[in-house]
Amino acid sequence: MKLREDDTVLHYEAHMSWVREECKQTLEQESNITARFPAAVQEMDIKSLEEEYKGLQGDGAGEAEYFQSLEEQIIKMKVFYRYFSVWLLHDLI
């Protein structure tokens, strides 16, 4: 029984060592990514970055709404043009 407990402890220690190494690598990768950010972004706190991100998302939603509105206006103009063309042809005949 003692041998199994020792094996379990060794296995657990090996696993924890692997987890620590994975965490180190992940932190290094994240550090390399954030090092490429402009200095102003690096100096911002998390709350400010979250607010900026939400603002950018809002801009995207507003942009989508604007393009949808343009598309609706184009459809209305096409419908008007078709009716107007039919009306003109009818008057010419």
Tokens matching residue 57: 């998302």
- 16 and 51 in a single domain? The answer is no
Q: Are residues 91 and 53 in the same domain?
A: yes
Per the prediction, the chain carries an average pLDDT of 79
Report whether pLDDT(1) > 70.
Answer: no
- Number of domains the chain contains: 2
**Is residue 49 domain-shared with residue 91, that is, in the same domain?**
yes
CB 52 within 8 A of CB 60: no
Residues 93 and 48 in one domain: yes
- Calpha distance 30→82 (Å, rounded): 57
Task: Give pLDDT tens digits for 12-46.
Answer: 888 888 888 988 888 888 888 877 877 777 777 77
Q: Which domain, by its residues, includes 82?
A: 44-93
| Claim to verify: residue 52 and residue 79 sit in the same structural domain | yes
Q: In this predicted model, which residue has the larger pLDDT, 36 or 2?
A: 36
Q: What is the pTM of this model?
A: 0.38
pLDDT given at position 23: 84
Do 30 and 49 fall into the same domain?
no
Other C-beta atoms lying within 10 Å of the C-beta of residue 91? 7
Phi, psi of 38 (to 5 degrees): -60, 155
Residues 15 and 57 in one domain: no
User: Do 29 and 48 belong together in one domain?
Assistant: no
